Amino acid sequence: YFNSLGYRGPEHFKTPDISVFGSSFSFGVGIDFSCCWHQQLGDYKVNCYSPAGILVTNDDILENFKKTKIESGMVILQLREFRYNKSILYIPNNLHVFVIDEHTHPDILTFTWSSFVDKAEDNTHPGVETHKLWAQKIKQQFGL
């Protein structure tokens, strides 16, 4: 199901604890929304602004963040392979960031393809168990 803004999930909170921006990996293609990593972070009000579009770039993710003008809570950006960047990324310092990429990045929390312990129904996106694992690591990394 989709909310009135066109994002997957319930209506967004006016004052969220956490706002998530990402790609189809955060949208949760092929799994129930309640199983997405961001829905497993704990007892937080979480808004997810992640489309399921093909080839959503990191530039698109940052633009989506900028246009929403989030005013409260923590912001988590889920980036994807840096090879899809259209330009150099300038990420504000107050954001929490991780990347899903085929290569590891020493200065950023990275989930590589080998971190997929299962796959979703489409056999491409991460499955329920992978989302659980990611949620645990993200909670540790960002102090949740």
pLDDT in tens, 93-131: 899 999 999 999 999 999 999 999 999 999 999 999 999
Residue 58's nearest CA partner among 70, 48, 50, 69 is 50
Distance from C-alpha of 48 to C-alpha of 35, rounded to nearest angstrom:
13
Residue 87's pLDDT band (cuts 50, 70, 90)? confident
pLDDT in tens, 2-43: 999 999 999 999 999 999 999 999 999 999 999 999 999 999
Residue-level pLDDT at 80: 92
Residue-level pLDDT at 55: 80
Distance from C-alpha of 109 to C-alpha of 38, rounded to nearest angstrom:
15
Residue 132's pLDDT band (cuts 50, 70, 90)? very high
Residue 78's nearest CA partner among 23, 133, 8, 140 is 23
| Residue with tokens 């319930």, as numbered in its chain | 10
What pTM was computed for the model?
0.94
First and final CA of the chain: distance in angstroms? Answer: 27
